[in-house]
Amino acid sequence: MQSLNLYEPMIATIKSVKELTPTEKMFEVELPDGKRLGHGPGQFVEMTVFGVGEAPISICSSPTDGNNFHLTIRKVGDVTGVVHTMKPGDKLGIRGPFGYGFPVDQLKGHDIIIVAGGIGLAPLRSVINYIFHNRSDFGQFTIIHGAKTPSDMLFKDELEGWRKNPNVVYLETVDRPTPEWKGNGGVITTLFKKVGKINPDNTYALVCGPPVMYKYVILECGVLGIPDSHILASLERRMKCGLGKCGHCQINGLYCCQHGPVFTYTQIKHLEEAL
């Protein structure tokens, strides 16, 4: 049971670790007694590495993926650095789930375009898997994925499946192609040409990636005619509590941890600090 005090983490166990790239690893995490986290796609947890600190990490698995959940973590600093040295059986602290994720019920019945840049694919994987598991609830399904180089791509074996999967249009590109790379080259926006005709009013675009990416991708969504309220962006900010108190994640008047991390473009369009 989540303790009454919102600052107290549950003790969770790492069940498996998978190296995705030299700087990213995926961790399968089990809560005490195999309890479910009870999250929705797009939500995040506050993950404790004891003695090091806490960091907000998106849940990269769908609630339909089973009782355990997955975290994909890029090594950038203290918490993320030390968690990279951890092995199955090691313990983490988990608080959450927190935040406002992707409104899957509202998305049902619509065409979905996922736009993922780099590590942005991690939070989106939760909703991607959710859609695959409830495929018939959704219309046309497109994934647009960009990475810096082929080796930076996350979930490589899953990508292999998506490439072959007739239930999804999977488009990918790398900024800097290598000689072995057979696919597209160039930044992610170049893929929008390949999207073809869509029914904009019936389409939702779900976007996550590095801060520089949003502006351009949202422009492209606009070109496709997707209404602002149908563009959902998951944003990153510094966070210390996840509860709308510590102030770090504020985007103008909104708190990324409470009102987001997933926002509609309508919500953030007029916010000077959002994108």
Partner 1 sequence: MSKPRIAFFDFSCCEGCQLQVLNCEDELLDLLALVDIVQFREAMTEADWNFDIAFVEGSITREQDEPRLKKIREAAKLVIAIGACSGMAGINAIRNAMPVDKAKEIVYGNKKDAFESTFARPIDTVIKVDGYIPGCPIDRKDFLRTVQALLVGKKPPDHDYPVCQECRLRENECLLTVGIPCMGPITRGGCDAIEPTFGSPCIGCRGLVSEANIESCKQMLEKHGLTIEDISKYMTIFNSFQKEEKHA
Partner 2 sequence: MEQRVMEKKDVKSFIAELIKLYPAVYGPVAKGKSVVFDRLKDAGEAKFSYTRSILPPKKYLMPQQECIMKFDMPPNPKAESVVEFEDQVIVGVHPCDIRAIKLLDMIMNGGNPDDNYNKRRGHTVIIGIDCVPDQYCYCSSVMDLRCTDGFDIFLTDLGDQVLVDVLTEKGKEVISKIETKPASSTHLKKQDELLEAKKKLFTAKFTGPAQLLPLELEGQWEAPVWEDMGKKCLSCGQCVLVCPTCYCFDVTDELALSMKKGDRVRKWDGCQLAGFAYVGSGENFREEPGARVRHRYHRKFKYHVDSHSMTFCTGCGRCWVHCPVEINLVEISNRIFKREAECKA
**Binding residues vs partner 2 (CB under 8 A):** 3-9, 11, 48, 50-55, 74, 76-77, 80, 90-91, 93, 210-211, 236-238, 240-241, 243-248, 250-253, 258, 272-273
Q: Which does 152 bind (CB under 5 to 8 A by kind): ligand FAD, partner 1, partner 2, none?
A: none
Judged by CB under 8 A, the residue of 85, 105, 166, 182 near partner 1 is 85
Residue 131, φ and ψ in degrees, nearest 5:
-65, -45
Q: How many residues bind partner 1 (CB under 8 A)?
A: 7
159, interface contact from partner 1, partner 2, ligand FAD, none, CB < 5-8 Å by kind: none
Q: Which stretch binds partner 1 (CB under 8 A): 74-82, 128-136, 148-156, 258-266?
A: 74-82
State which residue, 40 or 209, has the beta carbon closest to partner 2: 209
Judged by CB under 6 A, the residue of 9, 41, 42, 56 near ligand FAD is: 56
CB of 145 to partner 2, least distance (A): 18
| 6 or 86: CB nearest partner 1 | 86
Does 77 participate in binding ligand FAD (rule CB under 6 A)? yes
Q: Enumerate binding residues for partner 1 (CB under 8 A).
A: 51-52, 77-78, 81-82, 85
Residues that bind ligand FAD in the complex, under the rule CB under 6 A: 44, 53, 55-58, 72-74, 76-81, 119, 122-123, 236-237, 239, 261
